[in-house]
Structure 1
Amino acid sequence: MADNANYFILESQHTLSQFAEKIPKLPEVQTKYFEMLEFVVFSLNYIPCKELISVSILLKSSTSFQCSIIAMKTLLKFTRHDYIFKDVFREVGLLEVMVNLLHKYAALLKDPTQALNDQGSVCSSILLIHAFLAGNGGG
């Protein structure tokens, strides 16, 4: 973040994409990782497709609910920032992942003990899918 060029220097090495594989196991860096993605989108005005694909894979594996919640909140910020992200998310497979997560969470919510633990993920998923559908004329 010290220099805008740093991201573009590291992009060809897929640095942030590789970090995404590790962050579910490292709760202390999850927030910082998504803050970096927000920096790329909001400050550099760039769409980090490779990193979004990595986030899609991260959500699909869903090994850390806390990480999933942070990821969903970040993705929701992106869709609110620019509607182009609705198309980007479709292209990188995030919409399909979110729908699958909703199915998974619906099954988990049948267990009252899980309902309390997963409420943030469910809300974030629903808000993201709503953002996708809003303004699309149903398509």
Structure 2
Amino acid sequence: MTRRLVAVLLAAFLVSGCVPASPDVDTYGDEALRTAGTAVSHVRTVERVLNLLHEQRMLRPTAITQLRYSEDGLGTTTTSFSELNPPLASDPLADRLGGLLDRAEQLVMDARVTVERRAVEDYADVARQLESTAKKLEAVEAGLS
């Protein structure tokens, strides 16, 4: 009897780890708010790094380290959010924030590649695009708070 109970509990534990999170509308909104705030932080950081590099006020190796850290952090945040199953009522929010997160990830990657290639002439343009995306993420964040 004990073996069977342990087997059933183990099976339930393993299966429950495979079920994606399905939060209610309020919980989903809270997670979207947290995600947007974290994304803004990473995007603004990368924007600042590019501007400092453009102004020759930051060393390239330090910048690359920060860019990689921000890229990893944004990726983790985006993955966590995208693994949630949005409630039906939250589909517009999921689409809006998901699209902005995708754009932010692409721009952060572009920033890293631009710095790795020493394409100084592109720093300001990528920084402007990051600023635009950060403002859109901030608007989503403000709408959720």
Determine which structure has greater relative contact order: mean sequence separation of CA pairs < 8 Å that are 6+ residues apart, divided by chain length.
2
Q: TM-score range by the shorter chain?
A: 0.3 to 0.5
Find the structure with the greater CA-based Rg: 2
From the two aligned structures, give the one with the greater helix fraction.
2
TM-score normalised per structure 1: 0.34
